Amino acid sequence: MSLDGKNALVTGGGSGIGRAIALRLARDGAAVAILDLNLEGARQTAEDVAALGRGSFAVRADVASAADVEAAAREARQRLGPITILINNAGIGHVVAFVDTTEEDWDRMIDVHMKGAFLCAREVVPDMLQVGWGRVVSISSVAGLQGAAGFVHYSAAKAGIIGFTKGLAQELGRHGITVNAIAPGLIDTPILGKADLTRDVQQRMVRRSAVGRIGQPEDMAAACAYLVSEEASFCTGQVISPNGGMYF
């Protein structure tokens, strides 16, 4: 599934799923721009992409900031060329009871996930329309498919990603652009620790999975590799959920 000559932008690419996707895209031939609030992590990923012989650079950006996203997309276009692959991966998550959820908690969750996906797509979809080819893949969650106690704000944001995906797919399909989402289950990433899930809770979730293990970022990267490939040209508006057969 060659991506030679393609240029990708990966948000939240400094660690976890975003980093794994960036490296997989590079192995498949793409040049990759890495966006992350964690500039050190983004730079490390960019260095590793460059070591694979692909163009890459890192930029610190908050995907909830229109100014940050516009500047990052402009730099990506100048340094790599037209961006025809967008991976909306940047995300946050933490456990909080609904009655304890503050307005700030809610707004930040929605801004990072939903507004971030909107802003990034708004910047790079014109590139895709110009060349008549593009791939948008956004990271949702099983929580967005069926909800999760303690994650009401997160569930709402990830469900919004699915609606965004389906609507954008309908609008762009006739232009050679596919839009899909990945809804991971429990994945071993840094955000898992920040989500305040205790090891006991994690182990109970793993025991409910069919495969009996926690997912790895590379599992999500493999799904993404298909969705951005030419082989997936008939797949749009879909949600792939690699979750090991685990449901809340």
Considering Cα of 218, then 81, then 75, then 123, what sign does the dihedral take?
A: negative
User: Catalytic annotation on 247?
Assistant: no
Rg over alpha carbons for the chain, rounded to the nearest Å, is: 17
Q: Which amino acid is at 201?
A: V
The tokens of 30 are what?
Answer: 């793409």
Q: Which residues contact 232 (CB under 8 A, 6 or more apart)?
A: 135, 178, 180, 226
Residues in contact with 49: Cβ distance below 8 Å, sequence separation at least 6, in sequence order: 22, 23, 26, 32, 34, 56
Per the CB < 8 A criterion, the answer to whether 216 and 244 are in contact is: no
Phi then psi for residue 79, to 5 deg, are -90, -30
Handedness of CA 175, 219, 194, 105 (dihedral sign): positive
- Whether the Cβ atoms of residue 86 and residue 136 lie closer than 8 Å to each other: yes
Contact 92, 109 (CB under 8 A): yes
Which position among 57, 133, 154, 164 bears the catalytic label? 154
First to last CA, the chain: 33
Single-letter residue type at 83: I
**Mind telling me the catalytic residues?**
154
